[in-house]
Structure 1
Amino acid sequence: MALLPGAEPFAHEGGPVGVLLCHGFTGTPQSLRPWAEHLAAAGLTVSLPLLPGHGTTWRDMAATGWRDWYGEAERALLALSSSCERVFVMGLSLGGCMALRLALRHGEGVRGVVLVNPSLAPDTKLFLLAPALKWLVPSLRGVTDDIKRDGVHEVGYDRVPVRAAATLPELWRLTRAGLPSLTRPVLAFHSAEDHVVGPASMAVLRAAVPPHLLTVRECPDSYHVATLDNDADDIFAASLDFVSAHARERTHE
């Protein structure tokens, strides 16, 4: 199956500090490509994989679930770790949830986490109903393109495969359960107006992550896909500063 234009993965070999970027549910690397290129231009080694079932048709995605997507992200992390001395994980929406799970499972192998509007709870009706709806309907209206900036388009599916969406509660549950034991610093960006991920996810993050590890920055002029929106440059600059600061820190594990 041919890829959607712009859905290609991105990789750049730079210095000893590496960054893994994870795109969101039904999205593609295109939503994070400017971010990845900004980090690469600063000399970092960058990996931005295309998750299984994404970038072609929603029917392909219907045959996959969170374990497939997470497995690909984990493979990319291990490959990055084999060539870099220090590694960070970053993600948008569902990609943010997977970034947190990677940090929880790989401990000292991850230096820090950067999140943009992470998805950590079933806080929209679509995802609340998916486990039941999967037996009734194959797809629902898509969630891509929640961008405030005029003329900007997110490459992704215009339909959500319900069977794939029905696998998300398990990932959310497993990730939330581990957050109190997180040992890595987290920088989270939050859009005040988000039509995809509701307030429950940020509430989960604030309540579960040890306060001394969590920094939250607002994106006042962006919707959900803030990495393509009006606050994107601030996200890129702040995430690079975060990497620069924490790559120099000593770890004690």
Structure 2
Amino acid sequence: MNIVVCIKQVPDTTEVKTDPKTGTLIRDGVPSIINPEDKNALEAALVLKEQYGAKVIVLTMGPPQADDALKEALAMGADEAILISDRAFAGADTLATSTALGNAIRKIGNFSVIFCGRQAIDGDTAQVGPQLAEYLNIPQVTYVKDIQLFEGKVQVKRALEDGFEVIEAQLPVLLTVIKDLNEPRYPSIKGIVDAYRSKQTTVWSAADLGANLQEVGLKGSPTQVRRIFTPAPKGKGEMLQGQPQEMICDLISRLKNKKVV
């Protein structure tokens, strides 16, 4: 059984700042990490590997430095790592990204489960996983918090605001997971050594995938980010004092003056 895990290298959002003049993210000197929920996805795949002897293939799209994220995934226990990297993929939105990943997974061929994190912390769209499933025309379940694998199918608990629902799906299937699913393991010393000495990352270009250049990268992106900005700070709040009835009348009067009511 082959399991594919899609991960993304993202800037550590605790260190991200915005240039007030250009409205763009300042990435210089900002450390990059594996998207947190993608680590939960990888952990889920590794658990299935231990239970069923599956082969775990980790996949990402990005510049050459994204190999650092793949090395970490290999150190955690993944068997193979694939980086799709090409200038033709630059500027991709979620649709173009899922198309490129879909081309790579079709090239991989046989797979039973695709794992993705629910969403990436640098975009928060939660779109790539579902779009990838649609591109591959396979079942999908999102917001997964528990997984049970049976012969030819999977049963999962899907998190809801007020509980969960149990869903069964036939393999192959794509699952997007949430952080409540598990606690990702740390790479072992042996895993780190093997990742850098014994395991190699496979790099595929757009040509290697036979990708339609009109469907990937900026050309294949119907949405584009024009500007990123920090909202202007709101004014300071004011605490009303006095008897309840007096404060209510004062509040209503203020809201009327501001045309709120």
TM-score range normalised by the length of the shorter chain? 0.3 to 0.5
Higher relative contact order (CA 8 A, sep 6+): 2
**TM-score normalised by the chain length of structure 1:** 0.33
Q: Which has the higher helix share?
A: 1
Rg (Cα) greater in structure:
2
**TM-score normalised by the chain length of structure 2:** 0.32
